[in-house]
Each structure stands twice: as structure tokens, then as C-alpha cells.
Structure 1
Amino acid sequence: MTKFTFNLPDIGEGIAEAEIVEWHVKVGDMIDEDDRLADVMTDKATVEMESPVKGKVLEVAGEAGDVIAIGSMLVVVEVEGELPGDAQEKVEAAPAPAPAPVVEEVKAEIAPLPAPAPTPAPAPTPAPAAISEKVLASPAVRKRAKDLGINLAEVKPAEGGRLRHADLDAFIAYSSGGGFAPSAKPRADEAKKVIGLRRRIAENMAASKRNIPHFSYVEECDVTDLERMRAQLNEGRGERPKLTMMPLLIAAICKTLPDYPMLNARYDDEANVVTRHGAVHLGMAAQTENGLMVPVIRNAESRNLWQLAGEIVRLANAARDGTAKSDELSGSTLTLTSLGPLGGVATTPVINRPEVAIIGPNRIIERPMYVADGAGGERIEKRKLMNISISCDHRVVDGYDAASFIQSVKKLIEAPALILAD
């Protein structure tokens, strides 16, 4: 028998360590060549580690959430026969599985919260009184009353002597003010270790708020004509991807940025250097099952609306299914974040450090507005309105510049033909 030590390989980007996100094997498992061992993460890219040998797992390097150095032991596998190289160790017989080595856990910069005091067990709830069988009610009403702990004999029907769901609703509403308040069973407390992408997000957001003096500015835009133009473009799109609001906003932003170079920038606060970028590498915040990721649309300023729409879909899908490459998740110069229909009235997004600005369109709502009637007067008309938020790094961006930028974007949004004009 031979021990084969699989060390964590250099997975690029000049990194020195990686975090174990998830184990796919445990001590004692029999594995085949190319079986998945673990998922490890650096920056925001997750890499699958596969076994180069077949055998029995003897040791693993710690638990999910531990950070290990490049070149250190990840897994030790017992294999049959001889293996060349320094990674093997001859043994006379198969040794008993060794306990996993203790790996010192990297501590987060934020002090951990104290453990919550144990929750006292709730007092037993007395069983509800038996439901009178003389009460006229359907089986569904009886079941609902039983689930809610209501004695049907205490409920008075509104009409006809037969209890209905509306009578239960009225009883609940009346009784809630007098002490009766049916509630869901409390969930048990759950302690969940913050690891992987979730931990990276927490660290990045904490560093951003700790190091960057944020300020936010919000402006209301009339997007009625923009939405009308979007619908017209989609009618003749053929095989091209469907246009959402995002490509149009990106096009308006890219058309405006040359006049505001201080916003399309990255700030190295250690070297005290601001780099103002010519190309717009637009970060697009995307929610995934594992947390928020920011894939990057390269050279967004050089793409037309249909190309932007296709790239948005491609990158969002890659982020959600875990196939996004490392260079597709880094190097952004400005970020756009949108919650779509959940966008709210206004947002104050957190800057994606080391960028200096982040833009957040909000939900589109319909409201009556006064508009010119063409004869020197005004009339009331239903319009589609949307707020646009921007958060900036006040160390390098002045409030006047941020407000002027958003006002310039607003002019394009409210006269959308200008977005397509050269």
C-alpha cells in the first residue's frame, strides 16, 4: 500500500491561499480517479478539486470554511501499488485512518457576537376544547378550526346557522384584541457558519463601509417614452435577445461617462492613486443561490443594445450556475445594481471596492403627472416613473459631480432617441 498526498495546487492569479467551501469526500470513503474531492475558492471564483488517483481517503485538511496555503496537504489517499514522486510514503500495511489535522481558522475582522442565551422552553399549550358535533360546519371549516385551536361552539354564525370560513375570520379578528392570537410555531435557533462566497461578501462589504465615506444621491426620471421605445424595438427584434431596461440604462450611462471620468475609476487607497479608466468594464450585480456576485461586461461602451442584452443574460446565467470564469468576475470599473420589481422607491447601494461609484435603478411605478398639452397649458397624464440612485466615494467624487452625472443620464432617459444618436 502507498500513501498519496494530494497538495492544493496553484490555481492561478498569484494567490497564496484558498478557502475550503465544501467537501465531497470524508475519511474512509473509497474514491475513483477524477472524483470530486472538494470545492475551494479564491477571490470570487470557486474551483473543483479532482482526485488524480483511486483509493481510500485517509486524511482531509480541515473543515469547510478553513483557509489553507497553496502547496499544503488537501487530501491523503491510500492507493494500491507504487506511485512515483515525492508525494508517496511506503507503508507495510494499511494504517488506520489518521484524525484530520487541526487547521487554524482565519478570524474575521469583525468581532463575533456573543452566543445567544438559551431560549426557555415554551409552556405547554392547553389542548383546545372539544369541537361540538352539533355545530353545523363543513369538514374544511372544522379542520381549520381544529388547526387554529378554536372551539366551534364559541363561534356565532353570521347567517343561516351554518359556520363558514368568514365566521372564523371574524372570530379571529375579534378575539385577537382580547387575548386570542393564534401564531405559527417558533422555529428552532440555527447556527450557520459563514463561509465561502457569503464570507467574502461580508468581508468586502465591511471593508467598503469601513474605508469608504459613502454619500448617495437619488433622482426621479420619467421613463414613459423609454419604455415605449423598448417595446417598439422588441417588436422587431427577430432572433435577437429581448431588451429589458438594463441595456438601455447601460447605453445611457456609457454615453454620459466620458464627461464624468471621475466616476469610471478605481481608487488604490494604499498607494493613494486614482485610475480613471477609458473603457467601461461594467459590473452587474447578480443574485445567486450562494450570494451576490458581480460579473463584468467588458468594454460596455463599444456594444450595441442587442449585444449588451445578450451579454447580460450570458453572464447572469454563468454566475448562477457557477461556470463564470475568474476574469469574468473581476476588473470592473463601475457597477450597476438592480433588484428589478423589488427595487423599492430608493436605494443606497454599497460601493464595490475599489471602485468609486455604484448606480442603482429602482422600481418603475405609474403616477399622474402634469405634462404640457402643446397649447401652452398642462394636462394630467399617467406616466411611468423610476428613481435612479448613485452612491459615491466622497474622497474622490464631489456631490456636484454625482448630481450632474445623474442629471445628464436623466436627459437621455427622458429623450431616449438621443441614446441611439451618434
Structure 2
Amino acid sequence: MPYIIYTGWGLLVPVGLSLLYGLMGRRARAALGYVQKNTAWAWLREILPPLLLFTLWGIANIPLPVLYILTFLGKLSHLAGAKLSSVKAVFIINISHLTTIALHMILIGVCSLATQTPMNKLLWQPFWRIATIGSILIINILIAFLLPRLQTLLTVLHTQSESEETRPFLVFLWFCNLFLLMDSVLCIATISWRLLPVFLIASTVLLEFYLVRFLRHLYTLLHVRYLEEEHRGLVEKLEQRNQTEAELRHKSAVDALTGVFSRRYAMEQTAFLLQSKELFSLVYIDLDHLKQINDREGHQAGDCYLVKFAQEFGAWLRKPDVFARVGGDEFVVLLPGCTQETAETRMKEIRTRMEQAYSPPLSFSFGVTSASQTPDDSVEEVFRRSDQAMYQDKQMRSCS
């Protein structure tokens, strides 16, 4: 056939659709992780190669295998400045290129059957070249438009496209592209067999069928792996959160200086014992010499005095007893299962031994109250009564 050069208005179809595909393609590539410069020159560098190539194919009948090879090389050129791993990039390019040329060849075969025109003669006609490439550009525009909305697919592709499961499939994609490239030779071959378009359509559809099956299977594997990693990450975050919460609870329950429990913890435990209606006594303690030590030797010496008292006094307590610092030189002791008389006896014994064993003596005043088992008793009331009892003890000791 004579070589036909077409320069009509129909060339506006590949030009316009290529420009639109360039706009939509940038959004799709951004969703896939491509790093792109937002400048007019960067956009022109991306859109000019396919625009010129598809327009040139509308003008003259470039052999179909050459068109496909140039299209593939153009997609690879987009990766030159993109910060994307080679495995992930080749994986994405192979899938998109394979799908595009498969749909294009199926469309050529369908048009050939519909017009009863051999495929090689069909491609010599500018109308059919422009119609087929225009249809493929429209399909790619729709895919590029929808791709950023497929968040689950994009997330799995971002995180799992470089996993070991994708490498055998990547080899299969290379094979499929080579197979379709060889099949494209049939579109330009001068073969008079009428069923050649049927053979081309059937072989391409069969290949696409297996490709879709493999893709579904691969996506299932990658999605399961992604969910496992997400689950593992959530478990780690939960463990870290629980650890942080435990540390915060520990900090709020322990006095930073002395290492004994805090006022808040003592009040919580008192409320618990009141609610459970268990017998217990609460001892309110006030150190005797802290102010003098602070005035004479400084607050650092006073802090050491507090720490020493907490350590030595705590050594005399039982395991279930709750020892807490509630103020500067004030402490409380919760004695579960202990009557007021028993608690007073124990405190007097501890005070006597600590006064005799240390110099300056670790002496203190204390007041004891036993919580009643009536529902009207409150934490504040129990603390108030023991505090009053402590002041009475302090006054009696100062007078003696």
C-alpha cells in the first residue's frame, strides 16, 4: 500500500487526550509515590514524549512493535528523576504497559472483525489508528482518575511491592510483555487468514485472564502480609502505650523523693478499703525535727532526713501495709485488718526503737483512727480524724 501521511483535524484527538492524560497521570504517579517537580517545564518533559509519539502515529503508520517499545522506554524515562525504588518502579510500569498494549491489540482485533478488514490494512488508515489510540488514552485517563481513590490498593502496593512475593511475579510480567510484543507483529503481518484477529484476541484475552488471576492471588498474599505487619505494628504500639501508661501510673502512685507511695495512692487505697468495708486503721505521721534540720543544715540535708526516715520506718511495716508521703514532713500508714488499739501499740513501739537507734532521733508524732463500717464515713473524714489525733499527740509530747 502507498505510504499515507495524515495531517487533518483528527490529530487533535491524540493531542487533546495526551494533554489530559498528562494532567491525570501526574496525580496517579503522585499517589504511587513518584517525586515530581511542580513546574511547567517538568510537566512538559513528562507529557511531550507520549504526545509526540501518539500524534506521530496518527500522522504515519509507525510499526506497532516499535510504538510499544518506544512507549515502554518513555515510561522508564519518567523514573530518571523520581525517587522510587527500581523494583517497585519496574513492577508498576510492567503492569500498566502490559494492560495498555493488551487492550490496544484487543481493540484492533475487534475493529478488524467488525470492518472485515485485515489488521495490517486497518492500521494503514489514520482514522482507525487515531480511534484505537484515542480509546486507550480515554481508558488510561479513567484509570489515572480512579487510582488515587483506591487507598487500600495503594497502601498495599507502597508497602509490599518490594517483598519477596513480587519477584517471581515480576519475571512473569516480563514474559507477558515480550509475548504481547511478539503478538503485535501479527497486527502488521501480511497474513490472509481471516481468523487471525480472533486468534490475536483469544490469545491476548487468555493472557489477561491469567494475569488477572495472578494479580488477585498476589494481591491476596500482599494484603495478608500487610495486615500482619499492621497487626504487629498495632500490637507494638499498644504495648508501648501500656508501658507508658504503667510508667505514668507508677509515677503518680509513688513519691519522687522518698520512693514511698503518694498521697493520691493512699487516698485511693483508703477509698477502696472503705468501699469493701474491711477493718483497717489509718496512721497520720508528722516528723519532729525536719524544720530545724532545714534551717540549720539546708534543704538537701532535710531531704536526706526524709529519705532515711522513709527507709527505716518502712522496714518495720508489714507487706500489706501502705506507707505514703502526703506532705512535706507528713506521712500516712494504712494498716489493713488492724484495730486502733493494735495500731497505736505498733506505732509507739516503732517510735521508741527509732528514737533510740538513730542520732538525731527519727522521732515523730502520730495519730490513729480506725475506719467505721458505716456508709457515712469518707476518705476525707478518716484523714481528718487521724490528723486531729496526730496534733493531740504532738501537743502532749511537747508538754511532757
TM-score of the superposed pair, with normalisation by structure 1: 0.17
Larger helix proportion of the pair:
2
TM-score of the superposed pair, with normalisation by structure 2: 0.18
Larger strand proportion of the pair:
1
Flag the structure with larger Rg: 2
